[in-house]
Amino acid sequence: MVLGIFLSTLFSLIFSNKSPSFIFAVGTLALILCNAIAFQEVLLNLSNKGLVILVLLLLCSVVVDKTGMMKKLSRGLVEKNQPKSIVKILSLSFFSSALLNNTAVVATLISALKHNQYIAPSKLLIPLSYAAILGGTVTLVGTSTNLIVDSFLIEHTGAGFNFFDFTLYGLTAGLICCALIYLIIPFLPETSAKEDNYKTYLIEAKVEPNSQLIGKTVESNHLRNLPELFLVELVRNKRLISPVSPDMIIESGDKLIFSGNIAKVDSLDHIDGLSFFADSNGLLRENLTEVVVSNRAQLIGKTLKQVGFRSMFDAAVVAIRRDGGRLSGKLGEITLKAGDFLLLATDNDFRNRPNINNNFFVLSELKVNKKLGKAQDKLAIGGFLLAILAAAFEIISLDVVLIILLMVYLITDVISSNEIKRSLPVNLIVIIVGALSLAKALQSSGLIAMMTDTLHPFLSVASPFVALLTIYVVTLILTELVTNNAAAALMFPFAIGVAEALGLPVMAFALAVAFAASASFLSPYGYQTNLLVFSAGGYRFIDFVKFGLPVSFAYSSVVLLLLKWQYQL
């Protein structure tokens, strides 16, 4: 029964379009129903230390992402000097992924690279993804794959990895592969990126007197490299300037008019010294409400200033959109028409106002991350780095320091309890609990022992390195077929069974599984970061195979040779 459930799980992961979390959940239920594992054991897996650390780390990474640190860095990544731009992209992606969740790093940077005006996105996005994958292998916290293998190791031996157990292999292989990626980038196709599907709004931002933008050109301020937002006009001393030249010097009091995706408005939020009308009126923009001006509205034919919009509706207009017509100039001076779309920052009293239904049709709400204050910004980044350093140098255990950090974030309002609920990685938790349950069933049913007894005559006459190589290659193949986390979960119990049967170091085989499961360079489907750049860069499947083959070979060769040398295999 256990063998049947294992094979069914494997084939479902490869050939089914169901999510891995659903497949592992069904597999766990089947194990419980056939008495291969007790329900209490499944519940016990929820408290696995490695799983707890992974969840806490992902929640703390959400806070770091709110700071906009990566968004600020992304604005200056791409410039006219292509070699310099590529070095900056590879370096930022690699080194930031060593500490931050690498999927979050790619998700943050992808839009800025896709909409840059100097280099074809298809020349940048696969390198971005591969550098993030490589960076994630440098430390214990760089990728969820390492933490998943850590959770299995804790379950099996009672002790997991140390923070820097991955560093020798990950840093060496990563730097060599990043150099290789730099050299072979010319072989990537030059394709058109997939068009974005969003509705264009007009957004106005004011340059405050203390802004760091003042005295610099539009280009040096990187205002032309914003994701899905385009600087179309500038209003200075009541004079409209359009188009805006890259050499235009920004002055205090300038009104910058952007056109683009309103969901990316937080990119403007993280530019020092820019403010919106809603900011100056003290309205929070964590919840934005989209409305349409009705055909009986008293606003028709008037501007926002003329009607006193703020006092009339207890709301401020963040952006305006008009289908079939071009808008121009300051938001407050645009004459409104029936059918105009307004994005409003609203106060608590907005929906209770009696004049709302007469003037608007309320469509939907848009969630935008609330900007952190400067003190909160420093606390979020500084606290995270201190926590990681404290755990890395074994001053305090990683799980305890992350719990303390999350509590500090909650007390200081850096993150809310609702945000924590929304950010819980439920699917990943289900996968890990299901995989731990399956591993325990494989062990207790005797399947692992049966497999190792069968293979022992063949492996015992071969060198220990052949056993390690076999585990590594099978995991590598699985990772391209069933995703990195699932491959690590499926292969770990077999890897440990082989190591124990042959009397070889368990740590060497655990590291082999972790590194092989992260080595997804041949397919867009094996790793989350590859999937993110696949459609964004307009790639074909064969592009990953051609570009990834030399990277995968170099990475695997370095890791395997270092493992052979380190553990004398």
**Buried/exposed code over 200-211 (b: 16+ C-beta within 10 A; e: otherwise):** bbbbbbbbbeeb
SS3 content of the chain, % helix, strand, coil (to 5): 60, 10, 30
Detail the DSSP E strand segments found in 143-218: 200-207
3-state DSSP assignment of residue 499? helix
pLDDT of 17 reads: 79
Tell me which DSSP letter residue 416 carries. -
DSSP H or E stretch at residue 364: strand 360-367
Contact (Cβ atoms closer than 8 angstroms) between residue 66 and residue 471: no
CATH number of 287-367: 3.30.70.1450
Contact (Cβ atoms closer than 8 angstroms) between residue 537 and residue 126: yes
Contacts of 472 (CB under 8 A, 6+ apart): 512, 513, 515, 516, 556, 559, 560
Q: Count CB atoms within 10 A of the CB of residue 95.
A: 15
3-state DSSP assignment of residue 318? strand
- Each residue's pLDDT, cut to its tens digit, for the chain (569 residues) gives 988 998 898 888 778 878 888 888 999 999 999 998 899 988 888 887 778 888 888 888 888 877 777 777 777 788 888 899 999 999 999 999 998 878 878 888 887 788 777 888 899 999 999 999 999 999 988 888 888 898 888 888 878 888 889 999 999 999 999 999 999 999 998 876 556 666 778 888 888 888 888 988 888 888 877 777 888 888 888 888 888 888 899 999 888 888 887 777 777 777 878 877 555 554 445 567 888 888 888 888 888 888 888 778 777 888 888 876 777 778 888 888 888 888 887 766 666 777 787 888 887 666 665 667 778 888 888 898 898 888 888 888 888 999 999 999 999 988 888 888 888 888 888 888 888 888 888 888 888 778 777 776 776 677 889 989 999 999 998 888 877 888 888 888 889 888 888 888 999 999 999 999 999 899 887 788 888 888 788 888 899 999 999 999 999 999 999 999 999 88
Rounded Cα–Cα distance for residues 510 and 471 (Å)? 10
pLDDT of 125 reads: 93
pLDDT tens, position by position, 24-71? 899 999 999 999 889 998 888 888 777 888 888 888 888 887 777 777
Rounded Cα–Cα distance for residues 223 and 112 (Å)? 11
Query: What is the pairing mode between strands 360-367 and 287-293?
Result: antiparallel
Going by C-alpha positions, the residue among 467, 494, 429, 548 that lies closest to residue 46 is 429
DSSP H or E stretch at residue 258: strand 255-261
CA distances from 380 to 377, 410, 478 (A): 5, 11, 37
Rounded Cα–Cα distance for residues 413 and 411 (Å)? 6
Rounded Cα–Cα distance for residues 89 and 124 (Å)? 8
User: Is residue 463 exposed (0-12), middle (13-18) or buried (19+ Cβ within 10 Å)?
Assistant: exposed
Q: State the pTM of this model.
A: 0.78
Going by C-alpha positions, the residue among 145, 143, 141, 133 that lies closest to residue 173 is 133
Amino acid identity, residue 568?
Q
Q: Which contacts (CB < 8 Å, 24+ apart) does range 538-546 have?
A: 538/121, 538/122, 538/191, 538/192, 538/193, 538/194, 539/122, 539/125, 539/126, 539/189, 539/191, 540/189, 543/122, 543/126, 543/188, 543/189, 544/126, 546/187
Amino acid identity, residue 471?
I
Detail the DSSP E strand segments found in 46-194: none
pLDDT of 178 reads: 96
Going by C-alpha positions, the residue among 47, 37, 139, 63 that lies closest to residue 95 is 139
Rounded Cα–Cα distance for residues 13 and 359 (Å)? 52
**Buried/exposed code over 290-302 (b: 16+ C-beta within 10 A; e: otherwise):** bbbbbeebebbee
Rounded Cα–Cα distance for residues 280 and 255 (Å)? 14
pLDDT tens, position by position, 182-236? 999 999 988 765 566 667 788 888 888 888 889 888 888 888 777 778 888 888 8
